[in-house]
Amino acid sequence: MLYNELFNIDGRVALVTGGTRGLGFTAALTLAQAGAYVAICGRSAEEATESASVIAKKSGKKCIGVKADVADEKSVDELFETVISKLGNVDILHCSAGINIRKPISELEVADWDSVMSINTRGAFLCARKVIPTMRERKWGRVVFYASMLSYVSIAGRAAYSSSKAALLGLTRTLALETAPDGVCVNAVCPGPFVTPMNQTINQDESVQREFLRKLPIGRWGNPDELRGLLLYLSSPACSFMTGSGVVIDGGWTAQ
């Protein structure tokens, strides 16, 4: 296979949940610029539409924004109906939607736990369950879950988030085993500290910032653009022999 064919997703249809900002927006823009038709979803219809317009303008490819709650089964059904009616069957799914509630367990409410698990883990499950059957029928598909370096290690105050992201690795491995004979590759990207809106509160706390930098051998936080090559690879024909993996990209944090 020629180099330009390895990463060719021209004409494929991609859905990125949580694609209105942060790493999800980076993924959506990357896939669109690589030739895919892209749908993004978020909990705000206005934000989804605005972000989709930016992606379409920068890429020259059709991109639509859809309001959806990935933790709600009916909303997920409606999301996929909309995407299929406007773009066609989904070939590439990126489950980027996620939240983080930072509290010690003595202060963590059951509602906090449920909120994190519902969006981060239940949402990924609902979306994958919806799209995988048609991928298997067509004998091609790419599913990328957004886990975390905290799937492997943790930080105090991250009980819900770390648990939700560790669960995604189990889901990744199981679905990879179920779909491998059908040309579907299921993997997880496990980012470390990247400069995104989710991490804004940490970036504004100088003492926490210093502690994070002390744990980063590379000496700085990641720029979302530094994820683009990996995200494209996991979405492309080049990924045909890789499935069931969690790929850590964390500036060396977990190497210690």
Domain ranges of the chain: 3-248
- 32 pLDDT band, cuts 50/70/90, is very high
pLDDT at 232: 98
| Cα–Cα distance, 118 to 98 (Å, whole number) | 9
Give the residue carrying structure tokens 């060396």.
Answer: 252
Q: What pLDDT, on a 0 to 100 scale, did the predictor assign at position 197?
A: 78
* Residues above pLDDT 90, as percent of the chain: 91
Q: What's the pTM value of the predicted model, to 2 decimals?
A: 0.95
> What local confidence, expressed as pLDDT, does residue 209 receive?
82
**Whole-number percent of the chain with pLDDT over 70:** 97
Inform me whether the pLDDT recorded for 200 exceeds 80.
Answer: no
Say which residues have a Cβ less than 8 Å from residue 72's Cβ, sequence separation at least 6: none
pLDDT tier for residue 1 given thresholds of 50, 70 and 90: low
CATH no. of 3-248: 3.40.50.720
133 Cβ contact partners less than 8 Å away, ≥ 6 residues apart? none
How far is 31 from 113, CA to CA, in rounded Å?
A: 32
Average pLDDT of the chain?
95
Give the per-residue pLDDT at 199.
73
Which of 28, 8, 31, 7 has the alpha carbon at shortest distance from 17? 28
pLDDT value at position 106? 97
Catalytic residues: 161
Judged by DSSP in three states, 8 sits in: coil
Question: In this structure, how many other beta carbons lie within 10 angstroms of the beta carbon of residue 160?
Answer: 23
